[in-house]
Structure 1
């Protein structure tokens, strides 16, 4: 699970769609980021909510929202009643997952207010170099404490060939065509996401959602990029799952 390193605190009017996802995995509680996209639907990473040993989704998941403070005592909470993962989800090796996207259905609807809003899904594909922002609760510096406040880190997208050279060589026979279609790669010097912020948002500078944090650096290395699930490639899946979430009856 990725954590933002060397990030800066967000302004009060930024990323109000970012939520905290807490998953009971049995022996402990894991946490991830999430993105509110409608009154009853939250986007996150599949690897946060899926048990690959049993090929089932975890069934005890809680969403915290409307706060910039990590696990704040005065929080609003909502239980997840259904998890829908991409039907093509494939675990490849280690922590890398093709189609690392899931839609969580909330028990109760969340209405927008001064502290919460729905993310805008960017309607177009992102090709080339763009300035982007990733959000999450993470490390204030290497080997330091986790931040209690929501952080952001500014990155720049890179082409997937450069990403492949740095990140995917250790994997056997990765499908470069799938990588080109399904992921966005980005990096910046001295700033990153690492384990813990998985499932959180990647946005353009205008706030539109273009990616989901899938995997950060395994160790702190300025030369290695970060990869994100590319929202554009899953718009049909997201919209269909979102419609089902809005009418889901527990």
Structure 2
């Protein structure tokens, strides 16, 4: 199983469940090329403007050993919602780029070292895979390029067949190169029963989304990014992990926001 972010750490990183992190060669003002046989980023999607997903942000997370790339979503002028696994490993500084479709340019950039992950987060199973990043000063939300996304009420169900829009930056195919332009893809949610055929460890804090034929999915580099209900515009999920990327009959796994809604409210005030 692969968590869906990558790092430019000079060595390989694996957790106790052999969940590998992508090793990449990083250029400060260029693209990142994958050195792994795992797929990266949005697969089967298309380029979108930040105005289509103004809640989307890019996170560059510096720890003592590596720099990781994740997605996140604006839920208030001071708080970004992301995945807990993006914030594991001794974070030193987080750089947030908001309001731009370009991963390297435009928008506004904020830095912070303030973050929190769910106390019950399990790095072996990815249960409770949710975290928040708090900016040192309020972000500018203009309602066009930057806007807070709505979250579901506690206990809101995620029916199978719900179309979600997933967005982020990263490779567009296995062994591919990252796209500097923001990408997005629509995928339907999958029933818990069907998803457990692939992921026996699935909990009520998770749901799955993907197409039977494969070819459309989130992947490494998208971790922490939003999965938004296409019809309501409400963010119902957070990109978490998956068994490969865009494989036929193998959906991606997302943190179910409604199941950890109280924790978000208590810690983010939203």
1:67 to partner: Cα distance: 0.4
Matched, 1:152 2:177: no
Structure 1 residue 221, shift from structure 2 partner: 1.9
Q: Which residue of 1 aligns with 2:261?
A: 235
User: How far, CA to CA, are the matches of 2:245 and 2:189 in structure 1?
Assistant: 20
- Residues 144, 211 of structure 1: CA spacing in aligned structure 2 closer, same or farther, 3 A cutoff? same
When normalised by structure 2's length, the TM-score is 0.78
Q: Does 1:67 align with 2:100?
A: yes
Match of 2:205 among 160, 169, 182: 182
For 1:4, which of 31, 36, 42 is the aligned residue?
Answer: 42
Structure 2: gaps (5+ residues):
6-40
- 8 Å CA contact 1:133–1:154 kept in 2: the answer is yes
| Distance in 2 separating the partners of 1:136 and 1:232 | 22
Structure 2 residue aligned with 1:101: 130
SS state at 2:109 partner: strand
Query: Going by fraction, where is helix more abundant, 1 or 2?
Result: 1
- Report the alpha carbon displacement of residue 42 of structure 1 after superposing the two structures with TM: 0.5
Q: Deviations over 1:71-115 (max 9, x none)?
A: 22x3411122321111211222xxx41100001111110131121
The separation in 1 between residues aligned to 2:50 and 2:61, in whole angstroms, is: 26
Residues 67, 84 of structure 1: CA spacing in aligned structure 2 closer, same or farther, 3 A cutoff?
Answer: same
- Give the conservation status (yes or no) of the 8 Å contact 2:166–2:226: yes
TM, length-normalised to structure 1: 0.84
Cα distance in 1 for residues equivalent to 2:247 and 2:188: 16
The alpha carbon displacement at 1:190 in A equals 0.9
Structure 1 gap segments, 5+ residues each: 52-56, 169-173
- Does 2:160 correspond to 1:165? no
Please state which structure has a larger fraction of its residues in strand: 1
**CA 1:34–1:133 in 2, change beyond 3 Å: closer, same or farther?**
same
**Residue aligning to 1:76:** 108
Q: Which moved more, 1:156-165 or 1:141-150?
A: 141-150
